[in-house]
Chains A and B, each alone.
Chain A
Amino acid sequence: MNVAPRARMNRNDEVIVTFPDADRELSNRVSIVGVGNSDFAFDYETARSRKAEPVHNMADQLALTSFERALADSGLTRRDIDAVGFSYFVKDYSAFTPELASDALGLRPRHAEMTMPIMMGVVPQAVAMLARKDVDTFALIYSAPMRSIRRAFGGDTESYGPPSYYYYHPWGWSSQGAHWALKAQRYLSQYGYAERDLGVVATTLRDNAGRSDFAIMQDPITIEDYLSSRYVVKPLHLLDMCLVSDASVCLILKRTEESAGLRTIPVRVSGWGRAETHKEMFKHMVVKALREEYQEAGRQALDMAGLDIAEIRHFEGYDAASIHLINQIEGYGFAAPGEALSMWADGHMKYGGGLGVSTSGGMMSEAYTQGWGQVLEAVRQLRHEAGARQVLDLAASMTSLSTPDGAYPLVFTRGDA
């Protein structure tokens, strides 16, 4: 079995991830032919009500559900899966090996490896291997019992990663939420929006989640509910933040030429991009809203796909927080700087508007999947299987993983178009 580490740390403890650059030769060569996910809502309630420590192999358990569903969705069998990427988030990696994880799923792949837990470079890397015919059928599996292992996302427990995760403890500044809060305050002040104006993101995503069978948060909310939800880091409320939930998502990929005749409409991986800055993070993240990185990465992805942004009518952004989603919508060029919130209020990004955004509720209302749920939803939308939330006649979608300082979009198209 071949185990290839892909991530390494640089001298600032930043994780350096390598994956293929955008390349027109790789556009549409590979398709997603099967998808599956764990029971987000049921598992959320289970994690909340659990009294004892969770079982040690929770990631394996979650993954089994999403994997078997993806397999059934594709019509393939375990014997067909000859490559697996494990994007697992576990408390203790010393006990994790791709061999054991394969075994837990009943698989005997030729190639198995640990991949990035977040949706960064995982699909491009698999596409490159499939296109080279190193392997024939790739299962990519995200599994993260994030709620059960009680990750805090801030405070004294954060002692590694980029400086913004630990350096500012003496001033009491910490947490992922605080990154987003600085962005939000700057944006609201700069463009003259009131705090309540940001609430349209939370209310819309909740409405979208009400149209998804799997979503954790399905009850509609009003702007008043939004404003009365507690602050986490002001100006951001609880309802501006993504959920923390246990989740697994599985994607099965094959070469497009071998995807015809399977039971699903193939969804082609058409493009991707990458732009990031590990320097002067606050300047790029807060002051410049990562605009240059979104512009560059979006251009790469659209060029590779041979599409214009006007042809993208469905966008799944990385909604770690409402403001981060707004920055992406404007950064990629779906709206001019400062205009996304007013366009949203006018209905452009709501169900039935010109641009479907996070149509199954995103990480703020459906489930916390570190970007994997976005790809899952793109596949369902492009297959026209999204039911009550379907973007009509959709042919091309963009998803976006975005860290505080990086942009990693993917472009997908419907395979029979």
Chain B
Amino acid sequence: MTSSNRRPNRTLGGVHDRFWELCQRQRLFLQRCSSCAQFQWPPEEACEKCGHDRLEWTEVSGRGTLASWCTFVQKYYDALEVPYDTVLVALEEGPLFISNPAGFTNDEARLGDVVEVEFVAASDDAGEFFLPVFARVASQT
């Protein structure tokens, strides 16, 4: 199967490869510090909070709330037709996650709307992958 959902290239190599490998399971895993228990995203070599380098990939609920959103009207990427929507999701576990809305548009978005991760097939120069996006499960209005 080839995906027509072409995307600008992911950041790959090191800890980033593991994040995308785990996305293949269509479940969301984030790094969690084994010292201070803080979750973080994007992946890092060490804990953002305490600097500890023992980080464990831990599955998260995939749920969160909309913290903000914006719509790209100026074209920055050849691979993407404008306009398109992006969202900032406050995950239940703490980290803020940049993503795209699935099944709703930013015009309908409200601060605090509850959203849940789902995965869509996508591709970039490195090949096929599953991209985490967020669907709305409850609205504030």
Name A's B-contacting residues (CB within 8 A).
Answer: 11-12, 152, 154-156, 163, 166-175, 177-178, 181-186, 189-190, 230-236, 279-280, 282-283, 286-287
Contacts and interface: CB of A to CB of B under 8 A. Distances in A.
Contact of A171 (B46, B98, B106): B98
Interface in B113-136: 122, 124, 131, 133
B99 A232 contact: no
A177 B75 CA distance: 12
B60 interface: no
Given A174-B8, A186-B68, 13 more contacts: A11-B45, A11-B46, A167-B98, A169-B9, A172-B86, A173-B86, A178-B86, A182-B69, A231-B74, A234-B83, A282-B88, A286-B67, A287-B90
B73 A231 contact: yes
B76 A175 contact: yes
B84 interface: yes
B76 to A, nearest CB: 4
Nearest to A186: B68
A107 to B, nearest CB: 41
Contacts of A173: 72, 86, 98
Nearest to B86: A173
A172 B84 contact: yes
A321 B130 CA distance: 34
B122 A170 contact: yes
Contacts of B69: 182, 185
A171 B117 CA distance: 14
Given A170-B124, A280-B48, A282-B96, A233 B70 contact: yes
B8 A169 contact: yes
Given A177-B74, A185-B68, A234 B106 contact: yes
Nearest to B71: A234
B18 interface: no
Contact of A232 (B8, B73, B80): B73
A232 B88 contact: no
Given A170-B131, A172-B77, A286 B68 contact: yes
Contacts of A181: 70
A171 B100 contact: yes
Contact of B71 (A169, A189, A233, A280): A233
The listed residue with most A CB atoms (<10 A of its CB), out of B7, B73, B74, B96, is: B74
Give the top 5 A-B pairs by smallest Cβ distance, nearest first. A155-B76, A181-B70, A231-B73, A234-B71, A169-B8
Contacts of B124: 170
Given A171-B99, A171-B100, A189-B110, A166 B11 contact: yes
A163 B122 CA distance: 21
Contacts, number: 117
A154 B82 CA distance: 15
Given A182-B68, A185-B69, A189-B111, A170 B74 contact: no
5 contacts: A168-B86, A169-B10, A177-B74, A231-B73, A234-B70
Interface string B55-70: 0000000000001111
Given A170-B131, A185-B69, A232-B73, A283 B111 contact: no
A168 B133 CA distance: 12
A172 B42 contact: no
A174 B76 contact: yes
Nearest to A155: B76
B92 interface: no
B53 to A, nearest CB: 11
Contacts of A235: 70-71
Interface in B4-29: 7-11
Nearest to A159: B11
B131 A171 contact: yes
Contacts of A186: 67-68, 111
Given A182-B68, A233-B73, A286-B68, A170 B9 contact: yes
A186 B44 CA distance: 27
B91 to A, nearest CB: 11
B54 interface: no
A244 B96 CA distance: 30
Contact of A172 (B8, B45, B68, B88): B8
Contact of A178 (B11, B46, B70, B111): B70
Contacts of A286: 67-68, 88, 96
A228 to B, nearest CB: 14
B52 interface: no
A12 B11 CA distance: 14
A186 B111 CA distance: 7
B96 A287 contact: yes
A167 B19 CA distance: 12
A232 B124 CA distance: 25
Contacts of A170: 7-10, 122, 124, 131
Contacts of B76: 152, 154-156, 172, 174-175
Contacts of B80: 172
The listed residue with most A CB atoms (<10 A of its CB), out of B40, B48, B72, B77, is: B72
Contacts of A178: 70, 72, 86
A231 B74 CA distance: 7
